Structure 1
Amino acid sequence: MEPEVLVVHALEEPPESWEAAVFLAGPTPRAPDVPSWRPEAVERIRARWAVSGRLVVFVPEHRDRRYVDYTGQVDWEERCLHLADEVVFWVPRDMETMPALTTNVEWGMWHDSGRVVFGAPPEAPKNRYLLHYAERFGVPTATTLDGVVAAALDRIGDGSSRIGGEREVPLLVWRTPEFRQWYETQRGADNVLRGARVVWRTGLHWGLHVAVEVAAEGRVKANEVVFSRPDISAVLLYRPGPTPDETVVVLVREFRSPASTEDGCVHELPGGSGPGDPLSTAVAEVAEETGLVLDPARLRRHGVRQVNATMSAHRAHLFSAEITEDELAAVRDTGPHGLLDEGERTYVEAATFAEIRRAALVDWATLGMIAEALYADR
């Protein structure tokens, strides 16, 4: 497949598939004697796009530069902004010919989306406030049109082929392992995305309002949001008793804002996310949250499942390890643990499985993980 740059002008229908999409945001001249900067931007994009496949460039100007449908124009721009993998803000502001007042509003709506780049000539006035927020949110900036185009295409890289409703998932979500895992399972069931809208994103966490064609039911379900975060590793540390009910389980207590417990804390198994494989993450999280350093060979795998399948796509990799009396005594007498500089404070506590159940000490997901590991050999 040859590289292709397809320009879609205002009110024109986007194509059904592409590898990447860019929206050219910024001031639009209204007077016929004031030239637009967008044709030059398109040419610079054409010169740089060498990837096999299609790059769509949304240009919010009519081919004949007429504006006859204000509401339709606004709706088209909103739709295509959400379709774009990168929104290129180029703001050659001129207070007489291109004051860029609408651009200020668009920038305020998209500056923290994670998919914008910002550029402006050094002499362009009234951009200091916009540049302030670009710096605050880590937005790539440039002082030339070629520089801002390059910044956008660098982030797009090779793009990724998407068709139909898949186009509505921007690359910054599409490329995450969590999205890929979720969508591959949906496709394995012959389900297809018919639409999506990013409703929330922060760091490695994201939320998508999705419309999914459910093949087995012959319908499209469009009233749910899929949330996700990186998969976690969770570890059951236990001192065996005569029965599972008498087995002592190590928990960590930590203040977490969503907790609706009497003490405002969550009580859970040591665990969390990490950059390595699930086993190495499990060992690292145990050391971080309890102070206990384990040989990886001591951990037994119990599989992987979603934690809350009606809400979040992320999964938990469950491990367990039998510990000695000395190790149990050692972790009980230490704390706080965690990444203290980042606000994470964990305190070790221990209770029998029966005590955990009677006191409703843990949530249902944690209770299930404990039961799965304790009863695995029985």
Structure 2
Amino acid sequence: MEIIYARQPLPVSYKKSIFLAGPTPRSIGVQSWRPEAIRLLEAAGYDGVVFNPEDEKYDSLNSFEKDEQINWEHKCLDRADCILFWIPRDLATMPALTTNVEFGLYVNSGRVVLGAPPEAPKNYYLQFVGRKEKIPQADTLVGALYLALKMIGEGAYREAGECEVPLNIWRTPYFQSWYGKLKSAGHRLDGAKVQWVCRAGKEKGFLYAYALHMNIWVDGENRNKTNEVVVARPDISSVLLYRRADDYLDSRLVLVREFRSPACNDGGFVWELPGGSSKDQIDWLTTAVNEVHEETGLKLDRQRFEKVETRQLIGPFSSHRANLFAVELTEAEMADMDARRGIVYGDKTEYGGEMTYVEVWRLRDVLSGSLVDWSQVGMILSVLAP
């Protein structure tokens, strides 16, 4: 275990990290809770980094050092794999006013554990918000530390700029796929700052999306790119169900119409190829087969799915990719799809619900209108264009 005290240099590599957030004594006569937390972590065999915002030896801070202290804490909070809030609040000696602010800044990060002894006053609001945001909570320090260690698990080795990517993002396959491509191109991650995360599901246990403000050294340009944000979400499988015609513009294809909040067209819905992602991280072909059945009602043998290609969808904005498959339908199957217009499909058990409607389009109608977005048009033409 490596303890990093207030304003000390940050480690250049580690597998896991915990920030001990909570009230700090402001006078020598008041006992801190952090030494006991460190003792308990050591007894539990914790072998990671502990960010301790207290000095190794108590000393009052001048105004310049206060700025340095705040900046140091923010850097540690931004990168910590778990932020453990233990709040033994005492309004006279440890009022924990800064703790309230820090909790508000990171409550939605997916990296917070909240704990407080039952007798500590003025914690109800934080606990209420914690329940609302599905944050693990405990009423003993031992219990809170157990939850922190459970959150971190085995950790993952990171060094240099990688340390600024917390575990809950680092572990996602969509971060790793993006990062693998970055490294294979010869670029280097020199730093990152989490702007936001979106946690999905009733228990908010699935990290659906995130945004990282990046600091990347660009190979071949001898400079660092620091003015962009990478938005990421799980990659998807998309499936073109089509029936080719002699004139390729008369080829027919299946689109699903679905309401999606970002839709920005005259129809108010999104028209897209059947497809989606799976939080269970099953293989892309299985995802493709399942999504076609879920969104159109059509059951197809997986042997009929032809893998086309994997490409990024919106390069300047988002890192997520589509794994494109294609299936040529029989005339009877295409007629069946056309007959299903108006029938509601989709996974209605999803958070918020999914309702999809099957529509059969001719390629010339896709190209002549503006309802189908450019990424969908590109996937369609990659199969049907002569």
TM bracket (short chain)? over 0.9
- Counterparts of 1:131-146 in structure 2, within 5 Å, are 131-146=127-142
Task: Report percent identity of matched pairs.
Answer: 47
Aligned structure 1 segments of 4 or more residues deviating by more than 4 angstroms: none
User: What is the distance in 1 between the residues matched to 2:22 and 2:186?
Assistant: 41
Is 1:354 the counterpart of 2:373? The answer is: no
- SS of the aligned residue for 1:340 comes to coil
2:91 is paired with a residue whose SS is: coil
**Correspondence 1:62 to 2:55:** yes
CA distance in 2, matches of 1:123, 1:360: 61
| Contact kept in structure 1, 2:267 and 2:371, CA below 8 Å | no
How many residue pairs get aligned? The number is 369
**TM-score, normalising length from structure 2?**
0.92
**1:258 maps to which residue?**
262
Q: Residue 42 of structure 1 is aligned with which of 38, 46, 67?
A: 38
Equivalent residue, structure 2, for 1:72 = 68
> What is the CA–CA distance in structure 2 between the aligned matches of 1:50 and 1:28, rounded to whole Å?
23
Deviations 1:224-281 (A, max 9, x none): 1111111101011112211221100111111212111101111111110023211111
Q: Structure 1 residue 299 and structure 2 residue 305: aligned? A: yes
Cα distance in 1 for residues equivalent to 2:157 and 2:131:
31
Matching of residue 286 in structure 1 with residue 292 in structure 2: yes
Q: Does the CA-based 8 Å contact 2:265-2:370 persist in structure 1?
A: no
Asked whether the equivalents of residues 17 and 81 of structure 2 are also in contact (C-alpha less than 8 Å), the reply is: yes
1:115 maps to a residue whose letter is R
In structure 2, which of residues 346, 350, 371 is the aligned counterpart of residue 338 of structure 1? 346
Q: Deviations over 1:109-160 (max 9, x none)?
A: 1111100101111111221111111111111111111211121112111211
Q: Residue 216 of structure 1 corresponds to which residue in structure 2?
A: 220
Q: CA deviation at 1:331?
A: 2.4
Amino acid paired to 1:292: L
**Is 1:31 paired with 2:27?**
yes
Q: What are the within-5 Å matches in structure 2 for residues 1-378 of structure 1?
A: 5-51=1-47, 55-66=48-59, 67-68=61-62, 69-203=65-199, 204-274=208-278, 275=280, 276-334=282-340, 335-341=343-349, 342-375=352-385
Give the counterpart letter for 2:373 in structure 1: D
Quote the offset at 1:50 in angstroms. Answer: 4.8
Deviations 1:167-222 (A, max 9, x none): 10000000100111111111112211111011121122111111111122111111
Paired amino acid for 2:267: D
Gaps of 5+ in 2: 200-207
Is the contact between residue 266 and residue 371 of structure 2 (CA under 8 Å) also seen in structure 1?
Answer: no
Query: What is the rounded CA distance, in whole Å, between the counterparts of 2:255 and 2:187 in structure 1?
Result: 39
d(CA) in 2 for partners of 1:242 and 1:267?
A: 25
Deviation of 1:28 (Å): 0.7
CA distance, structure 1, for counterparts of residue 8 and residue 136 of structure 2:
29
What's the CA shift for 1:13? 1.2
